[in-house]
Amino acid sequence: MLTRRIIPCLDVADGKVIRGVKFSADTVVGDPVELAAAYNRQGADELVFYDITASAENRGLIMDVLHRAAGEVFIPLTVGGGVRSSDQMRDLLRAGADKISINTQAVLNPDLIVEGADRFGSQCIVLSMDVLWNSERDFYEIVTHGGRQRTGMDALEWARRGVDLGAGELVVNSIDADGTHTGYELRLTRMIADAVSVPVVASGGAGSPEHMFQVLSTGRADAALAAGIFHFGEFTVADAKRYLAERGLAVRPA
């Protein structure tokens, strides 16, 4: 039986983990390596680092975080933020990442997905999609640049195209739900999970283990990504896994 994954997400700005609501990052949470080690002990299946201030000047900070985290944890590490070339992917993989997440740059240059998959394998390439409901046109729209720019692209079409180009996993992040703790966007997640053949990670809105159960069952996600409920001690990874196991979902023991 396929086990469902619980993935803590660490948004890293200037070497610190921060957390906000609907992409307004304004609260410092702590040191990324200390948090990574804690989540490893709690039984997390993977960890995601997003370098939300990625630039030429800051790239060394996330490299340092990866080097240190790789020495402290023994689960897969995914990193994203400002990755523009397969050479940058190579550098991040050498620093300790197991998978590379691309988002805005993949929209601007879809060949980046192809290049990464050809060079490192599809299993290394994660297409992260920031999605906003467009009420005027009645569809889920892809947005870029940290949720600031609308693209007019349909999320379902982009998901299918991303997989065709070589992405081995999709992260579906609902900006409408991000940081609200009111639950994942189940309709969006299920729509995409039903349409693609690769694993789908649900992101945005986790407020309780019940929300994770809903998105892994009704939403048909393969994994649930969460940040705030873990960072602020509302629940541990072990709490979430215990809840899921009690309701019949297969999870790796915490």
Q: Output the CA angle 217-5-1, nearest 5 degrees.
A: 70
Q: What value, to the nearest 5°, has the Cα angle with vertex 92 and ends 12 and 62?
A: 25
Please indicate, yes or no, if residue 19 is contained in any of the structural domains: yes
Q: Does 252 fall in a domain?
A: no
What burial class does residue 2 get, using C-beta atoms within 10 Å of its C-beta: 0-12 exposed, 13-18 middle, 19+ buried?
A: exposed
pLDDT of residue 146: 80
Catalytic residue numbers, as ranges: 11, 130
Any domain includes 253: no
Tell me the pLDDT tens digit for each residue of 113-156: 999 999 999 999 999 999 999 999 999 999 998 888 899 999 99
The one-letter amino acid at 136: E
Spatial separation of the C-alpha atoms in residues 113 and 222, rounded to whole Å: 21
Distance CA 206, CA 189 (A): 13
Helix axes 59-70, 86-95, angle to 10 degrees: 40
Q: Cα(109)–Cα(225) distance, rounded to whole angstroms?
A: 26
Residue 33 contacts residue 72 (beta carbons within 8 Å): yes
Alpha carbon distance 133, 169 (integer Å): 22
pLDDT of the residue at 82? 86
Question: Is 167 a domain residue?
Answer: yes
pLDDT at position 55: 56
Overall domain count for the chain? 1
Partner residues linked to 9 by β-bridges: 48
The pLDDT, as a whole number, for residue 21 is 54
Taking alpha carbons only, the member of 247, 230, 147 closest to residue 181 is 230
- 252 neighbors 3 (Cβ within 8 angstroms): yes
Residue 48, in any domain of the structure? yes
**Where is 125: in which H helix or E strand?**
strand 125-134
Counting as low any pLDDT under 50, the low residues of the chain are: none
Helices (H), the chain: 32-42, 59-70, 86-95, 104-108, 111-120, 155-165, 186-193, 209-217, 228-231, 237-246
pTM over 0.85: yes
Instruction: Check residue 123 and give its pLDDT.
Output: 98
**What's the CATH number where 90 sits?**
3.20.20.70
254 is a domain residue: no
On the 0-12 / 13-18 / 19+ scale of CB atoms within 10 A, 57 is: exposed
Q: Please report whether residue 121 resides in a domain.
A: yes
Domain that holds residue 16: 5-246
